[in-house]
A and B are shown apart, each in its own frame.
Chain A
Amino acid sequence: MYEVTYSERVIEALMDMIRGNPKHANAIRTAFREINRRLRIYPQFGQPLRDLVVEPAQLWVAVFTPLVVNYVLDEGDGDKRGRQVMVVRPFVPLPGLGIV
């Protein structure tokens, strides 16, 4: 299993998205739950975007309708550093669904 963490900015932006789109609130929450579940178990469900320079880790992007998630995947070093997923950029809605 991977440890999944979110930055405060990511969660604040997600709350703003739910507040601003009450008709899509349930879909957004459901997607968040499912994304978190997948990130915990198998974060490779997305697509690698690029290697980071600042960390020995990769930035990935994944979609679970209606959300797009950008996250850093750190496979750890098998010793001190465990396997980690960090959601570092705010979720964005898939275009064309009417979510702002």
Chain B
Amino acid sequence: MPTGFWELFVQRVTTNPHRHISDDLNRLGGEIAVLLASHDTRTAAEALSALSERIAQRYDEIRRAAQEPTKQTRGEDTSTNNSPETPRCEDSSIVSEFPDIFRPIPVPPEVLDEANRTFNEEEIAEAIREIRRSGGLKFEDVIHKLDALPSEPHEA
């Protein structure tokens, strides 16, 4: 990743240029890329996804901690805050309620290839017709049936 990106990123976050931070981020990005490249694509995609989730999780913790005193002292409802780092959503209170959800999960290339390869518009059209005709099945209709199915301890 070009260092210029990180310089802009760091400047935007801190409002001051911090060359050493952008250099560190750039180096870290390169090291992560090397580690990912040593694995197959599926493992690399999963690792990248897990890493993104971990960063996002930590980011949420920090952001929540930073927002809490502001809410208390100002008496403001920050659930409607639509700051630049908050994903766009029609109902911004949902963004605050489910901060973990608004991040895409990378789809491994081979999964995309398989989905494209097996794409069948007629099959999909028939399923849509069935759902429109019958109303389809909802989560609440089926989860008790799934939970009733037996499971065995997973062998690591």
Q: Interface of A with B (CB < 8 Å)?
A: 1, 4-11, 14-15, 18-19, 22-27, 29, 32-33, 36-38, 40-42, 44-47, 49-50, 52-55, 59, 61-65, 68, 70, 72, 86, 88-89, 92, 94-96
Contact = CB atoms under 8 A, between A and B. Distances in A.
B2 interface: no
A65 B46 contact: yes
Contacts of B143: 32-33
A22 B127 contact: no
A97 to B, nearest CB: 9
A37 B139 CA distance: 9
B136 A6 contact: yes
Contacts of A42: 89, 98, 101-102
B77 interface: no
B85 interface: no
Given A18-B146, A25-B151, A25-B152, A72 B124 contact: yes
Contact of A89 (B42, B46, B127): B127
Interface stretch (B8-16, B21-29, B58-66, B105-113): B105-113
Interface residues of B, number: 46
B83 interface: no
A26 B142 contact: no
Contacts, number: 140
Contacts of A95: 42, 110-111
B130 A8 contact: yes
Most chain B CB atoms below 10 A, which of A7, A18, A19, A52: A7
Nearest to B154: A23
Contacts of A18: 146, 149, 151
A32 B149 CA distance: 14
Nearest to A32: B146
